[in-house]
Structure 1
Amino acid sequence: MITMEAVMEIPAVTAGSSPPWPVAAMAPGSWLVLDASCADDQVGLFVAALAARIEVQPPGSRDEVVNALLADELLIAPGGLQVRDSTTATVVDARLLCRAGGLARLGAGGERRLPVAGT
């Protein structure tokens, strides 16, 4: 079955920039699938990625961060849509769908990645 999944690219976290709530430990540049199966710390990671792009004076409490997020008119997080075929275990990476350079063979996680001719 072919599905499309909303994904967020995991940002690099620098020392001293950790939010005042639990966040999942994931490698920068990897993808977090955003769906109902997300654990609390994965939701925390998503909110932290949104909060990293707004201005909150450190050390911002959870309430200050949430209030700033709610007041912001435009929230941006790096990500997109990832296409997955569960029958063939093929994944079309969201980062590659959104760039003019086409698709590249990544081969991470044992999944086959689709190349595009001429790239």
Structure 2
Amino acid sequence: MLIMDAVLETYNPTEFTPWPVADPTTDHLLALSGRLSPREIGTAMAVLTSYNKSDHKAQARDPEDSAEQVSMLLTTDQVIAPGGIRVRDTSTGTIAPPGCCFGLENWRNWMDLMNGRIPWLGHDPTPRAELAGETVRLCPDSEHPVGLPIELPLARIPELLSSVQTQLIAFLTAIGEWATRYTPLLTDALVAKLEKDLAIKSPLWNNRR
């Protein structure tokens, strides 16, 4: 079985205090969906708000509370979400995690394959997709290849990406529910910001960013 997940790269948030977070997974990749626990949602929000502090480097102090932490995310030009698309082939056990610097905000780039274009998928590891007729061959790390690549029928790419979009829509709903508890006055703005910057809800067939 072929599975595509939207994943967020996490870290060990030992010093994060604005809200409760979960312990990181072994591979430090959090699969986003509507089934995440409140602490896992907290981890996702900790990553997103912390990673996007670059626009606020001039701020000499740390945020005083959860509302101020989230506000920095809302005022960044473009939300950057470390992670991307993880592909798994359960029949072989092969996993292709997203490469560094790809970013979940670029998840729709996978649709380029339907137009015969090869998307850049990041580095370290360096996944590489190649078109071979009606099949996409995905090497989990083209710089250090081990084993057989994952073979994705080209015709299944829209279906698999639709499943990713469904996961992200459910995750967005869960974010809204989480925000009503921790940042109630910012809930609508937070949901709108993430929906826009991560291009979550617009139709895949109109893949324009």
TM above 0.5, yes or no, is yes
Match in the other structure for 1:41? 39
Structure 2 letter corresponding to 1:95: G
Aligned to 1:115: 146
| Structure 1: gaps spanning 5 or more residues | 105-113
**Which structure has the highest helix share of the two?**
2
TM-score by length of 2: 0.43
Query: Given the superposition, is the C-alpha separation of residues 29 and 10 from structure 1 closer, same or farther in structure 2, using an over 3 Å criterion?
Result: farther
Identity %: 29
TM-score, structure 1 normalization: 0.69
Higher Rg of the two aligned structures: 2
Alpha-carbon distance between aligned partners in 1 of 2:37 and 2:74, rounded to the nearest angstrom: 22
Q: In structure 1, which of residues 67, 74, 98 is the aligned counterpart of residue 78 of structure 2?
A: 74
- Partner letter of residue 99 of structure 1? H
Kept after mapping to 1: 8 A contact 2:7/2:29: yes
Task: Indicate the RMSD between aligned Cα atoms, in angstroms.
Answer: 2.9
Instruction: Write the distance in 2 (CA, Å) between the matches of 1:19 and 1:60.
Output: 10
Deviation at 1:5, TM superposition (A): 0.6
- Counterpart code for 1:3: I
Aligned to 1:108: none
Letter matched to residue 98 of structure 1: G
| Structure with the larger RCO, 1 or 2 (CA within 8 Å, 6+ apart) | 1
- Runs of 5+ consecutive residues of structure 2 not aligned to the other structure: 101-120, 128-139, 149-209
Contact 1:19 1:48 in 2 (8 A): no
AA aligned to 2:11 is P
The aligned residue for residue 19 of structure 1 is: 17
**Cα separation, partners in 2 of 1:98 and 1:69, compared to 1, 3 Å:** same
Identify the residue that residue 110 of structure 1 maps to in structure 2: none
